[in-house]
Amino acid sequence: MSVLEPDAQDTPVPPLAYEVVPPMTAKAKPFEKWPSTQWEEIPIGLKKNQKSQQVRVCRICQEGENDAAEDGSDVDLEAASEKSNRNLRPNRNPLIHPCRCSGTMAFVHVECINHWRTKDRKSYYQCETCRYQYNLFRPRLAALFENTFFLHSLAITISLVLIIGLSYLAKVVDVYALHHPETDSPEWRELHGETFLWIDRIYLLAGLIFVAFLGLIYLLLLCVTQGSLSGAFCCCAGCNYYGYGGGGFCDCGSDGGFIVLFFFVILMLMFGLFGALAAVYTAIEQMVAKMLDNIKVKILEVPLY
């Protein structure tokens, strides 16, 4: 039987010698041997990596800046408001940092926060989480177009310009198409009166009637599409309807009938002008509404620390 060698574990091992080095002595390894740039670059590099790895998602709809709502699934908060807003181009609906919130609450879509602010009056001016008051920017042009007095004045001005334009059109048609040039006859002068800037009262009246006619058409279309007028009426107080067979008549006299006709024409003219003014105002209001969508109050972004 062979003699076994002694186990390595049984062999005595001399204890390790430790050199006691006092701190900040000549034998100590100075930190100057380490490049100072490493101590500065490493933390900065970590912060940059952390920022680059931070996912920018909206805290309301949980979507990114370039994500589109392709699946039409419901999200939290009817808030993501009608997701059809995601069909907007990314540069029109970016992710912004409007307050002091951080982490997953840092970013929000412009459309999402605007919808949220309209739903809750308390969050219109400040964030509900960090209580930071938004930096709001309101263009002066938006305030001007939201002024009711300005819109009314603009509608009246456009209506007057329309009347004058149609008056010139009436004279052009009368002189060049119907071949009725101006004459020096007393009858013509008495009828048309003085001419100012190539138009007179007859052509102004023609333009006024044409605008009133367009206004009546607008009111009739409005009544047909949005409501109905019921009931029949006769214009004079002592007028009763008598039906004989398929006909009928009003018991107004001839002089009274002329007066009634005159007031009826004036009334129709006033209604027509009112309708024209309403049509112009409605058109202006719709155009201003579209314009205000682009110049509405904006929330300025807060730097992310």
Per residue in 85-137, pLDDT (tens digit) is 444 444 567 888 899 898 888 899 888 888 888 887 778 888 888 989 888 88
The pLDDT of residue 72 is: 41
* 58 and 181 housed in the same domain: no
The pLDDT of residue 168 is: 93
* 216 and 120 housed in the same domain: no
254-294 helix and 201-226 helix, angle to the nearest 10 degrees: 70
Q: Is the separation of the CB atoms in 79 and 112 below 8 Å?
A: yes
The pLDDT of residue 232 is: 38
DSSP output for 84-118 = GGGGS-GGGS-EE--SS--GGGS-EEHHHHHHHHH
pLDDT band at 83 (very low <50, low <70, confident <90, very high): very low
For 202, the token pair is: 């007859």
Q: Last residue of a domain, which of 82, 116, 134?
A: 134
pLDDT reading at 243 higher than 60: no
pLDDT band at 172 (very low <50, low <70, confident <90, very high): very high
Query: Distance between alpha carbon 176 and the CA centroid of its chain, in Å?
Result: 46
The Cα–Cα gap between 74 and 79 comes to 10
**pLDDT per residue as tens digits for the range 268-291:** 889 899 999 999 999 998 888 888
Q: What 3-state DSSP class applies to 222?
A: helix
pLDDT band at 74 (very low <50, low <70, confident <90, very high): very low
pLDDT reading at 34 higher than 50: no
Q: Which has the higher per-residue pLDDT, 56 or 226? A: 56
pLDDT reading at 67 higher than 50: yes
Q: Last residue of a domain, which of 88, 107, 134?
A: 134
The pLDDT of residue 105 is: 87
Residue found under tokens 């209506």:
159
Q: Does residue 96 form part of some domain?
A: yes
Mean pLDDT of the 59-84 span: 57
Of 225, 229, 207, 228, whose CA–CA distance to 276 is shortest? 207
Q: Does residue 182 form part of some domain?
A: yes
Q: Which amino acid is at 23?
A: P
The CATH number of whichever domain residue 81 belongs to comes to 3.30.40
Q: Last residue of a domain, which of 105, 134, 163?
A: 134
Length of the chain: 305
pLDDT band at 222 (very low <50, low <70, confident <90, very high): confident
Q: Which amino acid is at 295?
A: I
* 93 and 129 housed in the same domain: yes
Q: Does residue 209 form part of some domain?
A: yes
| Domain membership of residue 153 as a residue range | 139-224+271-297
